[in-house]
Structure formats: C-alpha cells, structure tokens
Amino acid sequence: MKRVITYGTFDMLHYGHINLLRRAKERGDYLIVGLSTDEFNWDSKQKKTYFSYEKRKQLLEAIRYVDLVIPEESWDQKPKDIELYQADEFVMGGDWRGKFDYLEEETGVKVTYLDRTPEISTTQIKQDLNDKSLVTDGTADL
C-alpha cells in the first residue's frame, strides 16, 4: 500500500483544495492530511482561520479522497509523521516548491509539488469578498 501525506490549513474549503487532494490521492492508496491547528496557524503564521480546527477537520473527513486527518502542530513534526505513518510520498502545492526537499534526504520519502488550480485561492476569495465593486445583488460575479 502506497501512503501519501500532505499538509495545509484548508480554511474556506474550495475546489482548488479538492483538486489538490484528488491529485494527491491519485498518487497512492491512502491519503493522510496534516491539518494545521488553530494554535499553529496563529503562533507560526499570525493567521486566524475562519473555521475552527474541528470544523475544518470535519470537512476534510467528509471528502472521499482523504483517509486520515492528523493535527499539524509545528513545522518540525513532518519527519516524525512521515516515519510514524510510513508515508511513501510527501505532496504539497507548487507554491511551496523547494521548501520541503530536505525531507527526501532526511526520511527517504519522495517529495512532490503539485501545481495549484490557477484561478482560485483562499486569499483571492477573501480579497473578492472584501471588494465591494464585485457585489451587486448579494452575489459576486466571479
């Protein structure tokens, strides 16, 4: 059985997230998602999520591509998780390209960066929702 592991915040879940998870799952038989906790997001990134960890976990667990959701509590836990869950491949979005190459040498896991869905991101959604010019009758024309 080939195990794939990925990490993320997955706040304001959208089809770009689903595409990434689907493509990660296609690379193996079992997909593990390290979900950033609320504390980790705030302490390491000064980032407050819209949905709590528990709600984001519930959303991820409902996605057919996801087999297991684990908490991501620090940047340093990845090598331990790879060993603990016997991951064969580590997958991240292309915007992280090169940042996790060290895991290949440190753990022997294959590191893969997948291109993001170009026209969608959580950041873009937040910006669009704040842009009053996009709102006409309560819906945004995107």
Amino acid at 87: A
CA distance 59 to 133: 30
- What CA–CA distances, in Å, run from 5 to 25, 48, 107, 124, 134? 9, 24, 13, 26, 37
- 126 classed as catalytic: no
Q: Which positions ≥6 away from 59 have C-beta within 8 Å?
A: 10, 13, 51
Q: Are 82 and 107 in contact (CB under 8 A)?
A: yes
Nearest to 69 by CA among 81, 109, 122: 81
Name the active-site residue from 2, 25, 45, 78: 45
- 47 classed as catalytic: yes
Name the active-site residue from 47, 55, 80, 99: 47
DSSP code for 68: E
Hey, which residues are catalytic here?
Answer: 45, 47
